[in-house]
Amino acid sequence: MEDNPVQRSNKWLDDLSKGLGHQLEAITVEGLKIVKALEGSILCNFVVSNRISDADGNWHVGAMATLIDDVGAAAIYSYGGHIKASVDFNISFFSTAKIHEEVELEAKVVGDKGRITSVIIEVRRKNNGELIALGKQWMASNNNSNKASKL
C-alpha cells in the first residue's frame, strides 16, 4: 500500500474518478485524469460529461465547485499528509465549459500555517488556456503539521 501522501491523494482522486466513493461526488469527478502530481501540486485533465451539465449544456456550477474542492483537497493532502476540513472556500467564475469540452485543473498549495493550509485551483480551457474559474480554499486540521510556514 502507498505510504507517501502524494500517492495516497492520487489514489483517492483516481478512485473517485472511477466511481468509487459517494455517488454525487463520484459522478462529478468521473473521468478525471491526473497528469502530474507533486507534493502540494496536482495537474489534471477533465472532459465535461452530459451527466454534470445544466439545461443549456454548460458544466453545472455545483459540479464544477465539487471538482474544484476535491482537487484542492487532494493537493493539500499531498502536502500535509492528513485530512483537513474547509474553513473558507470561494470560487470566481469567469466563463463556462460545454459538454465534451476538455479542461485543465491545477491546484497548488500557496500557504501553510501548521493547522491551516491554503490552496489555489485554476480551471482553464485545454485548447486555449482561457481561465474558466479560480478557486481559493483554506483547510484546517486538528493535526499538527511539521511543515515550515510559506506565509
107 within domain boundaries:
yes
Band (pLDDT 50/70/90 cuts) for residue 127 is: very high
Exposure class string for 118-145: b at 16+ Cβ within 10 A, else e: bbbbbbbeeeeeeebbbbbbbbebeeeb
Full residue range of the structural domain in which residue 38 is found = 5-140
- Total structural domains within the chain: 1
150 within domain boundaries:
no
Give the distance, in angstroms, between the CA of residue 43 and the centroid of all CA atoms in the same chain: 9
Query: Cβ neighbours of residue 65 under 8 Å, at least 6 residues apart?
Result: 91, 135
Can you name the residues that pair with 93 across neighbouring β-strands?
133
145 within domain boundaries:
no
85 within domain boundaries:
yes
- pLDDT tens across 92-112, in order? 999 999 999 999 999 999 998
Can you name the residues that pair with 4 across neighbouring β-strands?
none
151 within domain boundaries:
no
90 within domain boundaries:
yes
The enclosing domain of 22 has a CATH number of 3.10.129.10
92 within domain boundaries:
yes
